[in-house]
Amino acid sequence: MKTKKLLTAFVLLMVALIAGCVKDDFAEIVGVCPEVESTSPVDKATGVSLSKVITVTFNEQMNPATIKATSFTIHGLSPVAGTITYNDRTASFTPTNPLIANITYTGRITTTVKDMMGNAIQEDYVWTFSTDATPAVTLTSPFNNEAGVLLNKVITAQFNMAMLPSTLNGTTFTLKNGTTPVLGTVSYNGTNLSFAPTVNLLSETEYTATITTGAKSLAGIPMAANYEWKFSTGQVPAVLSTDPLNNAISVPLDKIISARFNMTMDPLSLMGTTFSIKQGTTPVYGSVTYNGTDLFFIPSGNLLPSTEYTATINTTAKSPTGIPMAADYVWKFTTLSTTAPTVTSTSPFNLETAVIVKKIVTAKFSMLMDPLTLNGSTFTLYRGTTPVVGTITYNGDDLSFVPFGDLLPGTEYTATITTGAKNLAGIALAANYIWKFTTVAPLAPTIISTNPINLTTGVVLNKVVTATFSVPMDPTTIIGANYTLQIGTTPVTGVVTYANSVAYFTPSSDLLPNTEYTVTVTTGVKNVPGTAMLNNYVWKFTTRAAAAAEPLFSSIFGSFGGNAGITNQGIYTVINNGSIGTTAASTLVTGFHDSTGDIYTETPLNIGDVKGRIYTDAPPPVIFEAGGPYGGNAVTMAIAQEGLLAARNFYNSISPASKPGGITLDNDELGGRTLAPGIYTSGSSYNISLVDLTLDAQGDANAVWIFQVPTALTVGTPSGARSVLLINGALAKNVYWYVGTAAVINYAGGGIMVGTIIANSGVTLSSPGNSTNTTVQTVLNGRAISLVSAVTMVNTIINVPE
């Protein structure tokens, strides 16, 4: 029996060896047929890492040569490329590239895989698995394009899965205002990222938040793309105005205190203690109401008089979006007094003497007054019984009365403020307030300049004799009996006129040649208030030796700066026997003073002495002597305009168009020449640069030279001055320079130029570098007139010819 069992087993073994590994419907010979024992990932696995190495473990050692790309495959959206290795019953598939997220893959081991005995797997082994999903942002706060975001907002983002915390940081999350990053702290919990800014966000500003693809899931899967969203912060509420204003005084006792915001507010945030009024530390009880943008505090009873109150709106006041004010808004005010107002001081003070005649009368009150009660009825100024007409103004607690004209000198005035003057509470002065003052005694008028000046010789025979007074005079006193011209004791007949503080004596006929004349202005002349000169004013002059032809052009102006002004630098500039002028404002004349004492922007280093007057447009100079200012008014402007017109007319009369046929020299250099009288015409410009120019009158005192220069006239060089010499009776008054553009006279400083220069576009005498040079002065025996541009001079002496 035993032998029979052994034989049966042997037979079965031989059948297996001959037929190979076979499975049937009933049994399997374990350990003989190869089969897949396990896989990684297992069948139906989910959340598989994208970097996963897929492995298959068999139940026995397999033939490595049968495990290859055709027998071990992974397939997703398409076949997956990879490397296959085998070791100790386990085959491994390493994908060439990371797997794709959120995809189901199919693994397959085919029947071509065999064991070491050549036995194949009986059927393909197939299993599936799914990779991790891609992380994504599902929710943000603020949401994209949200407006009115709070300034202390913590920005959050929620992901669709748990994330790798180490990938959520200041690099992968940013918040920017334009290109400016916002500093803050990034934190992460669960699926939520939070960013807390270090300081509050700016109001009314757009911000951009970004989470980059550097943010990864726990499986190391990055986001598919950067996630970006924007939001805008809200406006910070603020108080625009209050009633009463900050530091207001004399506030009515029944005042309702109000504040206006820059926007509508959350009404619920304006209740309770948000709006408070205190007297010191004591709260004022009342009710708070709100309408539109206005907040009101209605005290339960009247406020106390003469008391300071503090109003406060604190930061619990918020906008409808919940944005609070940046800081408490605090202001103060003081209620009105119930005591009667008083006058605390006046100017002039009571019984003051020697008050200037241009005085503005003022009074200061003890408190704010009702401006409507300060008028010509409640304030009066009288000279005896004669009222003074003027304008009343009120500012703060000061009343001012500006008389329409000067007060009379040496006169007592009475000022009165009546009980009709009331404070803001309607309380009147307890009694009329009266004070008196006396104006300064009248100053005697003086003569400040004459033309001709005393002891002048060579005076022209058709001379109009003038005297300029220190103050406006009474025209009825400027008459022949008080203004005389005599030869010895013989009176000269003539006409006496007066205008703008200047008296004129116009002889009925030409004066005699080579004769001394005496001019007398007597004490019969008086100023407007009626004050006479203290003494007769007498001066003399002598006419020229023989009747000579009058100059082609004569003017009171030694220099004229068109419509652009005149500037002086240095302290040695003098205008002798003449005036200066411009049709520009007086402020464009700098560095000069004139015979009236008017000063035009002089400094210690820029002082120019004009022996005559300065004629300009307004405004009057701000520095002047007693009785001034005399310049910068309509009268001086009219004289300036008349002078400019005369100069322009003469300029046109000596132009090449008006006087053609002038002598044309072989070149435009005048230096080194001796020229006879005549008209000389340049093709372009004239220069006196090599040596001096000499003008020879050849014994004719009436000889005239006209130089027509279409463009520029230049005298001297940057390194040296040149002069114009007059010989054989030549006179500076008979030399004329027509200059089409600008004239530059001895820029290096020094030299003597002669003649009347009329240039269209400016005259320059010397240069700023000579302003502090005490040894170099530039001399012009003539006139420097510009029709349009400015005249500038540095340490220049102009001697104006008769």
Q: Is 572 exposed, middle or buried (0-12, 13-18, 19+ CB in 10 A)?
A: buried
Q: Which residues make beta-bridge pairs with 195?
A: 155, 186
User: What's the mean pLDDT in 315-320?
Assistant: 90
H or E segment to which residue 776 belongs: none
Q: Is 15 strand, coil or helix?
A: helix
Nearest to 415 by CA among 474, 345, 520: 345
Q: How far apart are CA 152 and CA 182, in angstroms?
A: 13
What are residue 486's DSSP bridge partners? 491, 518
* Residue 77 · residue 89 · CB < 8 Å: no
Residue type, 17: L
pLDDT at 218: 86
- What pLDDT score was predicted for residue 14? 44
The dihedral formed by the CA atoms of 734, 739, 744 and 745, expressed in degrees to the nearest 10: -10
Question: What is the C-alpha to C-alpha distance for residues 524 and 547, in angstroms, rounded to an integer?
Answer: 35
Start-end of CATH 2.60.40.1220 domains in the chain: 137-233, 239-335, 343-439, 447-543
Whether 613 and 631 have beta carbons less than 8 Å apart is answered as yes
| Between residues 106 and 528, the one the model is more confident about | 106
Dihedral over alpha carbons 758, 762, 764, 769 (to 10 degrees): 170
Q: Is the pLDDT of residue 28 over 50?
A: no
72 neighbors 91 (Cβ within 8 angstroms): yes
Whether 413 shows a pLDDT value over 80: the answer reads: yes
Q: Which residue has the higher pLDDT, 775 or 92?
A: 92
3-state secondary structure 454-519: CCEEEECCCCCEEEEECCCECHHHCCCCCEEEEECCEECCEEEEEECCEEEEEECCCCCCCCEEEE
d(CA 268, CA 272): 9
480-484, 542-546, 601-605, 702-706: the lowest-pLDDT one: 542-546
Query: For 172-214, what is each residue's pLDDT tens digit?
Result: 999 999 999 999 999 999 899 999 999 999 988 999 999 999 9
pLDDT over 90 (residue 560): yes
Q: Kindly state the tokens that stand for 412.
A: 């007592």
Q: Which residue in 783, 295, 792 sits closest to 590, CA to CA?
A: 792
Report which DSSP code applies to 3: H
The single-letter code of the amino acid at 97 is: N
Residue 447's nearest CA partner among 553, 550, 536, 349 is 536
Confidence of residue 29 (pLDDT cuts 50, 70, 90): very low
The CATH-assigned architecture of domain 137-233 is Sandwich (2.60)
How far apart, in whole angstroms, are the C-alpha atoms of residue 736 and residue 724? 12
Closest CA to 205 of 230, 174, 228: 230
Tell me, what amino acid is at 337? S
Which SS3 state, helix, strand or coil, does residue 647 take? helix
Count of H helices and E strands in the chain?
2, 66
In terms of Cα–Cα distance, which of 692, 694, 693, 701 is closest to 730?
A: 701
Q: Tell me the pTM.
A: 0.40
- Give the CA dihedral 543, 545, 550, 551, nearest 10 degrees: -100
d(CA 684, CA 669) in angstroms, rounded, equals 11
CATH for 447-543 (1.10.580.10, 2.60.40.1220, 3.30.460.80, 2.40.10.10): 2.60.40.1220
**CA distances, 258 to each of 277, 291, 311 (Å):** 11, 11, 10
444 with 437: CB under 8 angstroms?
A: no
| Confidence band for 234, pLDDT divided at 50, 70 and 90 | confident
CB contact burial 43-64 (16+ within 10 A = b; e otherwise): eebeebbbebebbbebbeebbe
Express the helix, strand and coil content of the chain in percent, nearest 5 each.
10, 45, 50
Before 181, cis peptide (omega within 30)?
A: no
Q: Is the peptide bond before 660 cis (omega within 30 degrees of 0)?
A: no
Q: What is the CA radius of gyration of the chain?
A: 54
* pLDDT digit string, tens, across residues 327-380: 999 999 999 888 889 999 999 999 999 999 899 999 999 988 999 999 999 999
When the pLDDT of each residue in the chain is averaged and rounded to a whole number, the result is 91
Chain-centre distance of CA 801, in angstroms? 49
pLDDT band at 32 (very low <50, low <70, confident <90, very high): low
Instruction: Give tens-digit pLDDT for 431-452.
Output: 999 999 999 877 889 999 999 9
Task: Give CA–CA dist 99/75, Å, rounded.
Answer: 10
Residue 753: partners with Cβ closer than 8 Å, 6 or more residues away: 715, 723, 724, 745, 746, 765, 778, 779, 780, 781, 782
Per the CB < 8 A criterion, the answer to whether 54 and 75 are in contact is no
Averaged pLDDT for residues 307-315: 94
Using CA atoms, how far apart are residues 37 and 31, in angstroms rounded to an integer?
12
Q: How many CA atoms lie within 13 A of 423 on its CB side?
A: 23
Kindly report the CATH class assigned to 239-335.
mainly beta
CATH topology (fold) of 36-131: Immunoglobulin-like (2.60.40)
Question: Three-state SS for 45?
Answer: strand
Report the pLDDT value the prediction gives residue 549, as an integer from 0 to 100.
Answer: 61
| 3-state SS class at 143 | coil
Query: Is residue 101 within 8 Å of 132, Cβ to Cβ?
Result: yes
Q: Work out the angle at residue 746's Cα, subtended by the Cα atoms of residues 740 and 747, and round it to the nearest 5 degrees.
A: 95
Cβ distance 57 to 37 under 8 Å? yes
pLDDT in tens, 576-624: 999 999 999 999 999 999 999 999 999 999 999 999 999 999 999 988 8
Fold of 343-439: Immunoglobulin-like (2.60.40)
For the residues 23-42, what does the mean pLDDT come to? Answer: 70
Please measure the distance between the N-terminal and C-terminal CA atoms of the chain and give it in whole angstroms.
175
Q: DSSP for 716-748? A: SBTTB---EEEETT--GGGEEEEESS-EEE-TT
SS3 352: strand
Q: In terms of DSSP H, where are the helices of 518-661?
A: 634-653
pLDDT of residue 26: 36
Query: pLDDT tens for residues 744-760?
Result: 999 999 999 999 999 99
140 has pLDDT over 60: yes
Any idea of the CA torsion for 220, 223, 226, 232, to the nearest 10 degrees?
-110
The CA distances from residue 560 to 16, 51, 215, 581, in Å, are 138, 96, 82, 5
